Amino acid sequence: MDKREIVTNDATLPLRKLTRARIALGRAGGSLTTSEWLDFKGAHAAARDAVNLPFDVPKVQQSIESLGYPTITCCSAAHDRATFLLRPDLGRRLDDESREKLSASTADLESIDLAICVCDGLSTTAIHTAIGPVLEQLLPRLAAEDWRLAPILIVRNGRVALQDEIGQLCKARIALSLIGERPGLATACSMGAYVVFDPTLGKTDADRNCISNIHVDGLRFEQAADAIHRLLVAIRRQQISGVPLSAPESSTSSLPTEEPPT
């Protein structure tokens, strides 16, 4: 029998050219076609792998230090992946050893404009893929404007709000978290950039701004670096972040975009 007589196509099929969302899948009888079912299973497996893939800290460290910036490796209070997934609160604080290490390493720092923390978050794949290209574009722009940076933190099992404690310990005016976002069925390798002014324990999501969907099929790396740079400049100029921040001047619509907390 001709496949066209078996598969009933959705009327919105042409829209698939415009999005990676799972629309217009068609059906065979009352079920998905075998090809779409297998594609779904593959996407689900990729999402699980993104969450559970071990964080290659030496690789990330090398990619950052090759750009000429020192790094410090740390761990959140969630010491393993299972704890990280079950206890989000522990992912929002450093463990005691990391806190002592960071305090000792930054004790002599003064007038730090920006603390950058790189966290695996919920997609290790995203950080492995995106962190090098984004920082390669972003860091020279900050250097050209004389931003004073703390050593870049690489944190295992970190959540977004970890930037509050890190920024406070570094005595930084602004904190930037580059973190793997929650994977979905359209992409499992999306990175987010979260920024907060005057990072201190107790900040809320309303105090932060987010640029999300950073990956090769979303907000591309050069665009992301440009958007992050514009956001940082706006926060530095206006001395505030979060809901009250006036949108940075831009010819694109890439920011700000708020995502559910990671």
Please indicate, yes or no, whether residues 203 and 116 belong to a single structural domain of this protein: yes
Is 229 domain-assigned?
yes
CB crowding 26-52: b at 16 or more within 10 Å, else e: eeeeeebbeebeeeeeebeebbeebbe
Please indicate, yes or no, whether residues 29 and 74 belong to a single structural domain of this protein: no
Q: Which two tokens stand for residue 95?
A: 């463990």
pLDDT reported for residue 16: 74
Is 259 domain-assigned?
no
pLDDT reported for residue 253: 38
pLDDT reported for residue 2: 47
Please indicate, yes or no, whether residues 127 and 29 belong to a single structural domain of this protein: no
Is 246 domain-assigned?
no
Q: How many domains does the chain contain in total?
A: 2
Please indicate, yes or no, whether residues 27 and 147 belong to a single structural domain of this protein: no
pLDDT reported for residue 125: 93
pTM for the whole structure: 0.85
DSSP state of 218: S
Is 86 domain-assigned?
yes
What CATH number did the domain enclosing 104 receive?
3.40.50.11240
- Taking 3-state DSSP, the helix, strand and coil percentages for the chain, each rounded to the nearest 5, stand at 40, 20, 40
Q: Domain of 66?
A: 55-238
Please indicate, yes or no, whether residues 62 and 184 belong to a single structural domain of this protein: yes
pLDDT reported for residue 35: 84
Please indicate, yes or no, whether residues 34 and 61 belong to a single structural domain of this protein: no
- Contact partners, residue 172, CB within 8 Å, separation at least 6: 112, 113, 114, 115, 150, 199
Please indicate, yes or no, whether residues 187 and 212 belong to a single structural domain of this protein: yes
Residue that finishes a domain, picked among 17, 34, 50: 50
pLDDT reported for residue 211: 97
Greatest Cα-to-Cα distance within the chain, rounded to the nearest angstrom: 76
Please indicate, yes or no, whether residues 128 and 19 belong to a single structural domain of this protein: no
Is 260 domain-assigned?
no
Residue by residue, pLDDT tens for the chain (262 residues) are 444 556 677 677 777 777 777 777 777 877 888 888 888 888 888 888 888 899 999 999 999 999 999 999 999 999 999 999 999 999 999 999 999 999 998 888 888 999 999 999 999 999 999 999 999 999 999 999 999 999 999 999 999 999 999 999 999 999 999 999 998 877 889 999 999 999 999 999 999 999 999 999 899 999 999 999 999 999 999 999 999 997 776 434 344 443 444 5
Please indicate, yes or no, whether residues 10 and 112 belong to a single structural domain of this protein: no
Q: Tell me which residue has tokens 């992409």.
A: 187
Please indicate, yes or no, whether residues 117 and 15 belong to a single structural domain of this protein: no
Pairwise CA distance, residues 198 & 145, whole Å: 20
Please indicate, yes or no, whether residues 117 and 171 belong to a single structural domain of this protein: yes
Please indicate, yes or no, whether residues 23 and 141 belong to a single structural domain of this protein: no
